[in-house]
């Protein structure tokens, strides 16, 4: 069977070059006679793999020297708790901008752990179809929190809020290394790897050194495993890390570097997104329309509805679209239930050819329906 065009929101498609290289090394990585899946994380064979991944992250993201890079487990959802437990320790107050499901869940987790959460802005009034403009955040907050790219709603920050001395925390899971990002403007960044970096299993955390505190200084009841200092001191090996995922991550980072780094990814991603948005905004008969508002649109996740949105047969049309698309080799296009319709996730590894194939299918489907 030939490869399909995979528009999954995550786990997502990976660069074919990386998949082939991993397959070639499955039985013997770097002449060790073993797979990375079998390696001890403490071995001399694995040490250069994790060190190389850290070096590449620091280079590609231009991470300043006063930031630590961690490879953790538990996904973004565990970071919701770790951020609150490690940073919400002085005034016990935090500012959250609520732009979708994941920011809302992060705020709920912080409240559960005893942090006073102030939702200083929200786009819930329009089903999270836009990013509120909050250029400056002030107050006695321990930190401010945003979700930089909203996978479900297809929105993205086109600016970075000015928080002054308040550490800014951002979930960049679905846009990490899709474009350049000034790390120095943030106190902490985290990203689940399963969208732009690697298979599911590892979470990248970049944290400014002054925000790394002892377990005794974290919020009461914080487990040892959920203290950032535990992992800083253990160099991401306090417990067994997801070795194979880190190995693949390193290869994806190498692929990104070979394709122009974050700047190259931004050019590639803008070209893909512009091609699809242009069709959605100008298609004949307005058969389709994008749900995210102009000025807040994601380059990574593009939800769209048909002209049947709200009609009795909407679900039937959507199901037909997804089924026929799959038959044409375009998979995982079903939209999230909170938005409906369809969603094309076009992460770094998705090519322009894949997006063009999708648009050609959309034209035929519109013509027939």
- 3-state SS, residue 144: strand
Sheet hosting strand 288-290, strand order edge to edge: 288-290, 301-306, 342-345
CB-based burial label for 279 (10 Å; 0-12, 13-18, 19+):
buried
Torsion sign across C-alpha atoms 55, 57, 59, 63: negative
Pairing of strands 168-171, 116-122: unpaired
Catalytic residues: 102, 171, 195
Q: How many CA atoms lie within 13 A of 96 on its CB side?
A: 26
Q: Are 266 and 175 in contact (CB under 8 A)?
A: no
Distance (Å, whole) CA 189 – CA 174: 12
Alpha carbon distance 110, 144 (integer Å): 12
CB neighbours of residue 102 within 10 Å: 21
Q: Which residues of 214-224 are buried (b: 16+ CB within 10 A; e: fewer)?
A: eeeebbeebee
Tell me how far apart the alpha carbons of residues 109 and 84 are, in angstroms, rounded to a whole number. Answer: 8
Residue 160 near residue 136, CB atoms below 8 Å: no
Report which of 104, 102, 93 is spatially closest to residue 143, judged by C-alpha positions.
93
Q: Give the integer Cα–Cα distance in Å for 101 and 59.
A: 31
**Which residue, among 334, 325, 335, 336, has the nearest Cα to 359 in the 3D structure?**
325
CA-based nearest residue to 103, from 1, 173, 207: 173
């Amino acid at each position: 069977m030939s490869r399909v065009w995979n528009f999954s929101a995550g786990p997502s498609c990976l660069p074919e070059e990386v998949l082939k290289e991993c397959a070639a090394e499955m039985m013997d990585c770097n002449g060790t006679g073993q797979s990375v899946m079998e390696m001890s994380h403490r071995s001399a064979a694995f040490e250069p793999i994790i060190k190389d991944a850290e070096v590449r992250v620091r280079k590609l993201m231009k991470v300043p020297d006063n930031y630590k890079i961690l490879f953790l487990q538990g996904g973004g959802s565990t970071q919701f708790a770790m951020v609150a437990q490690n940073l919400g320790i002085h005034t016990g107050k935090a500012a959250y901008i609520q732009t979708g499901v994941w920011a809302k869940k992060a705020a709920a987790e912080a409240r559960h752990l005893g942090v006073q959460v102030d939702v200083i802005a929200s786009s819930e009034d329009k089903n999270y179809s836009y990013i509120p403009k909050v250029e400056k955040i002030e107050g006695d907050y321990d930190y401010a929190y945003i979700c930089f790219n909203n996978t479900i709603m297809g929105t993205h920050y086109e600016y970075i809020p000015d928080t002054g001395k308040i550490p800014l925390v951002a979930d960049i899971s679905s846009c990490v290394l899709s474009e350049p990002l000034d790390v120095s403007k943030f106190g902490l960044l985290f990203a689940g790897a399963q969208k732009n970096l690697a298979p599911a299993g590892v979470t990248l955390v970049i944290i400014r050194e002054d925000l790394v505190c002892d377990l005794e200084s974290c919020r009461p009841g914080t487990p040892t495993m959920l203290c950032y200092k535990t992992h800083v001191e253990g160099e991401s090996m306090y417990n067994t890390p997801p070795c194979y995922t880190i190995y693949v991550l390193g290869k994806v980072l190498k692929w990104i570097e070979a394709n122009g780094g974050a700047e190259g990814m931004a050019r590639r991603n803008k070209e893909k997104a512009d091609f699809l948005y242009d069709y959605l905004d100008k298609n004949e008969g307005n058969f389709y329309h994008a749900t995210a508002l102009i000025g807040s649109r994601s380059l990574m996740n593009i939800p769209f509805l048909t002209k049947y949105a709200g009609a009795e047969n909407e679900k039937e049309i959507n199901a037909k679209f997804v089924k026929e698309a799959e038959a044409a080799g375009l998979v995982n296009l079903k939209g999230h239930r909170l938005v409906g319709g369809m969603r094309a996730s076009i992460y770094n590894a998705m090519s322009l050819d894949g997006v063009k194939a999708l648009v050609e299918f959309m034209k035929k489907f519109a013509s027939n329906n």
